[in-house]
Amino acid sequence: MDKKLMKYCGSLQQMVYARPIVYKEGRAEHMNAIEAKCGDIFFHSAADKALDITDFSYKGMNMTFLAKPGLEGRNQYDTNGEEALRSIMGGLFFTCGLENICAPCTVDGKDYPMHGRMRTTPAEHVCTDVITEGETCKLVISGEMREAELFGENMVLRRRIESVLGENSITVTDEIENQAFRPEPLMLLYHCNVGYPFLNENCELYVPSKKVVGREEFSEKHVERWNKLETPIDNECEYVFIHDMQSDDKLDTMVLVANHELDIGLTIEFNQKNLPYFMEWKSMASGDYVLGLEPSNSSVYGKLHHIENNTVHYLEPFEKETNVLKFSVIEGKDKIDAAIEKINAIKA
């Protein structure tokens, strides 16, 4: 692979690289990140924020959502109740958990911030590399995050991000371990965020769901259009839809957002063994125009819901769980039709 590419490239970094950077201005000042290119895809992984992928583009076209406050590092809004709305950036995904997802709450006098603390946890032991193995050249980013408290939890998330040159995809492998000497709750949601210019009124969402319901009455009124994207609407409220999602006999499943004008799609593949819930966040509001796709191990109704229903998921001392999510760009009507057919086969 190296020899073939180097006939055309003075440096392989023309095609693939991962390099550490530090931002120098605004809310993002001093934030450490990794800038990565692998063929036609380009993205940043925030080393100071759980290695979450803050942006993602294909052939120069942005495909993800960035919230109005813009790119930002850790700040006073990170874990302060609903003020967390001022620190949520979006990106290809951000990690919600590990003690709470969704709305902030208080349990036995202890506060749990909106979408949890992991999304603002800096990574340790961060490594970047480009590896050539036979005919395969791949980019690798890895590190680990610890969510811990004196006399409290001690949870470790080990993350590995890989991208193979020529495949136009990113594979995220997460291992979560409870290093405390007591069972610990594990709440985890991958908040994946699709945005303009890839996302527009020419897009359609495909999910292998048996049933879709609205989180509340307002969303339920719009449930018939859960899979359609509209032109931005001034001051429109958000909708949240809960999917009864299906998978194959190995519990593998996938979703697709397809832009039928551009003939470009984004797929997300994952396994439902540890991520049995799937929620859709659809905001068609002007300036807040985003489609959120959310594989999760917990309900959108949050921590209090699970406590009340005695359905909190726990990890035993030193128990581990692993999740793998694959994000792929597909281009061309034939490939999009094949992905739709694959999703329909899961539904059958």
**Per-residue pLDDT tens digits for 237-253:** 999 999 999 999 999 99
* Cα–Cα dist 239/197, whole Å: 21
Closest by Cα among 284, 276, 288 to 247: 276
Joined together, the tokens standing for residue 140 give: 């690798």
Asked if pLDDT for residue 348 goes beyond 90, the answer is no
Joined together, the tokens standing for residue 194 give: 């699709």
What is the SS3 assignment for 13?
helix
- 74: pLDDT confidence band, cut at 50, 70 and 90? confident
Residue with tokens 């699970």: 306
The model's pTM? 0.96
User: What pLDDT shows up at residue 112?
Assistant: 86
Q: Which of 17-21, 78-82, 205-209, 227-231 comes out lowest in average pLDDT?
A: 78-82
CB burial class (10 A; 0-12, 13-18, 19+) of residue 17?
middle
- 77: pLDDT confidence band, cut at 50, 70 and 90? low
Residue with tokens 């073939």: 4
Under a CB-based contact definition with an 8 Å cutoff, are residues 94 and 52 in contact?
yes
User: What pLDDT shows up at residue 133?
Assistant: 85
Closest by Cα among 226, 219, 256, 224 to 240: 219
At residue 144, φ and ψ (nearest 5 deg) are: -140, 150
User: What pLDDT shows up at residue 81?
Assistant: 64
Asked if pLDDT for residue 61 goes beyond 80, the answer is yes
User: What pLDDT shows up at residue 114?
Assistant: 84
- 85: pLDDT confidence band, cut at 50, 70 and 90? confident
What is the SS3 assignment for 87?
coil
User: What pLDDT shows up at residue 99?
Assistant: 92
User: What pLDDT shows up at residue 214?
Assistant: 95
Residue pLDDT, tens place only, 116-173: 899 999 999 999 999 988 889 999 999 999 999 999 999 999 999 999 999 999 999 9
| Mean pLDDT across 2-25 | 91
Under a CB-based contact definition with an 8 Å cutoff, are residues 198 and 61 in contact?
yes
Residue with tokens 């990890």: 315
- 79: pLDDT confidence band, cut at 50, 70 and 90? low
Under a CB-based contact definition with an 8 Å cutoff, are residues 203 and 186 in contact?
no
* AA identity, residue 191: H
